[in-house]
Every structure is written in structure tokens, then in C-alpha cells.
Amino acid sequence: MNKHRAWLFVPGTNKRAMQKALTLDADVIIYDLEDAVEMGRKDVARQEVAEALQQQITSGQTRVVRINGATTPDYQQDLEAVAQAGCGGVMLPKTEDPAHIKQLDEYLNRVEKEKQLPPGHFKIVPQIETALGVHNSYDIARASKRVLHLAFGSVDYTADIQGEMTEEGWEVYYARAHLVNSSRAAGIRGPIDTVYIDIYNIEGLIRETERAKKMGFQGKLVIHPKQIGPVNAVYTPSEQEVTEARQIVEAFEQARSRGEAAIQLNGKMIDPPVVHKAMQVLKLYEQINKQT
């Protein structure tokens, strides 16, 4: 899963939207069996999602399924329905306990052997949506090699901490920073940011996405087709960023050949960490363009 900018949620009962998602620019599609599915329709959703996963796709998107939580009665049936070749990963909502990730990892190991899928085929995306989940996020990120990203859930989190949602996001600032730090300390990629529920407020969406990107997030969960383009744009390096990054790398290579490790370029100091960041920009740009 190289591209991971916009992750589109689609309710597991909405066949039309599941089909439409394959024609959209989301890098990842998340078929939801949890909160977007009414309690009495979990069986129907499982069946719809299992069928959708059997469909061969050519869009290059990764399909992930958000199953119900590890302590719910639906958990095991969800897993049995979705652990099949077309599913690239499992999102586990309200993850709080690293033991639940280990248990999921063992189950996926068995399925890969039984179905002769390559080891590590199924990724795990723990969704962190509670105070305890944030607190345990480092151990959760390290609980299995399958953990690709942590994903943040701010609506549940804000309710759990008894806060109030604000445009500035003060109530989730600590949780966001904690998830970035836990992810990087655990050696995995930066996390995927929470949904933005104000569908038609595109300016607000862009502001929030830019803020989270600057904090270290690597992509964002979205709920509506209108949100995909703006999120992809924020997470795609601009021409100007790419040009500047190339200039930094070139200038530094020349400096090194002269035996210098810190130089000035356009009035700014360039040293190894600045070059490291520039190389990250170039790598991301290459990854995105390789597949489009």
C-alpha cells in the first residue's frame, strides 16, 4: 500500500456507493461494518462486503474493512466473512488493548496459511478513539508487524474525554501529537487522521488536513466523494515543494564534495536533517506518480 492519502469510508450496506467508490480517486476504500451499519443489518452488511471483496478490481485501490470491535458479538463473524484475498487490511475500531492486535494477527496468520496467501498479505489498521487507546498507542503500534498505520477517531475520542469539538481542534491536539509520536517511536509510518464531518465545508477540511499533515499525519479518513480531491491535494507534494527539495539535495551534494556539511541556500541553512526532509518529499512524489 504505497499511496495512502484519502481513505474513503463506505457503509457496508450501501451497494451503490461501494461500486461508485471504485471509480473515485481515493487511495484506500474502507468498507464499514461498524458504526455506519445499523445493529439489525450487520448480517446483510457482512454478506454485501464479502461479495464486494470477491470482485476483481483494476483501480489499484487498496480495500480495507472496518470490522466491529474485538469485544463485540460481531467480531468473529466479521473476520470470517472478510478475511479473503480481496481484502488488503482490517481496521479495528476503538482499539485499546495490544492483546487484541496480537489475537487478530494470529487469526490472520492462520487464514493466510489456509488460503495460501503471502505472509503479511493482510495489514492491520488499529483505530484509536479513546483516552485509553491513545495512552496505549505505542504498544498497540508494536503489537504486530502487520500494523501499517494507526488511524485516529476524533468523534468518539472527544466524547470519551468529555470534551467538545472545536474548529481549531484544541480538544484533540494532545491525542494527535501522541499518535504521531507513538507511531514513529514504534517504527511505523505516521498515522491517518480522523474524519471531517462537515461535508460541504471544504475550506475547513483543507485547514484541518494541512494542520494534521504538518503534525506528521500521512493521510486522512474521508466520508464523502467531495472530500477526496482536497485531501489528495494536501498530501501530494506541490511542484514548488518538489523543485525546492531537488535544489536542497543538489546543493548539499555539491557542498559535501567540497567537504562542507552546513551551507546556505536562498537565505536558509541546509544541513543533514533538512536534506532528510527534502528526500522524504521527493520519495513521496515518486511514489504517488509511479502509480497514477
Ligand X SMILES: CC(C)(COP(=O)(O)OP(=O)(O)OC[C@H]1O[C@@H](n2cnc3c(N)ncnc32)[C@H](O)[C@@H]1OP(=O)(O)O)[C@@H](O)C(=O)NCCC(=O)NCCSC(=O)C[C@@](O)(CC(=O)O)C(=O)O
Chain positions contacting ligand X, by CB under 6 A: 8-11, 16-17, 20-21, 32, 35-36, 129, 153-156, 194-195, 223-225
Nearer to ligand X, 117 or 131 (CB): 131
Q: How far is the CB of 93 from Mg ion (least distance, A)?
A: 6
Can you tell me the distance from the alpha carbon of 236 to that of 242, in angstroms, rounded to the nearest whole number?
10
Q: How far is the CB of 72 from ligand X (least distance, A)?
A: 14
Q: How far is the CB of 235 from ligand X (least distance, A)?
A: 18
Among ligand X, Mg ion, none, what does residue 82 contact (CB within 5–8 Å per kind)?
A: none
Which residues lie below 8 Å from residue 101, measured CB to CB, with a gap of 6+?
92, 95, 124, 126, 140, 143, 144, 147
Nearer to ligand X, 154 or 274 (CB): 154
Q: How far is the CB of 35 from Mg ion (least distance, A)?
A: 5
Q: How many CB atoms lie within 10 A of CB 72?
A: 15
Place of cell 467538545: 164
Which of the 8 DSSP states describes residue 36? T
Quick one: which of 156, 196, 218, 222 contacts Mg ion (CB under 5 A)? 156
Report the SS3 class of residue 4: coil
Which cell goes with 111?
487464514
**Percent helix / strand / coil, the chain, rounded to 5:** 50, 15, 35
Nearer to ligand X, 153 or 237 (CB): 153
Can you tell me the distance from the alpha carbon of 18 to that of 63, in angstroms, rounded to the nearest whole number?
11
| Residues in region 79-138 near Mg ion by CB under 5 A | 129
Q: Which residue is nearest to ligand X (CB)?
A: 153
Nearer to Mg ion, 188 or 223 (CB): 223
CB of 65 closer than 8 Å to CB of 84: no
Among ligand X, Mg ion, none, what does residue 223 contact (CB within 5–8 Å per kind)?
A: ligand X
Binding of Mg ion at residue 153 (CB under 5 A)? Answer: yes
Residues binding Mg ion: what is the number (CB under 5 A)?
A: 3
Among ligand X, Mg ion, none, what does residue 230 contact (CB within 5–8 Å per kind)?
A: none
Q: Smallest Cα–Cα separation from 218: which of 275, 246, 179, 273?
A: 179
Among ligand X, Mg ion, none, what does residue 92 contact (CB within 5–8 Å per kind)?
A: none
Which residues lie below 8 Å from residue 59, measured CB to CB, with a gap of 6+?
22, 23
Nearer to ligand X, 106 or 168 (CB): 168
**Residues found near Mg ion in the complex (CB under 5 A):** 129, 153, 156
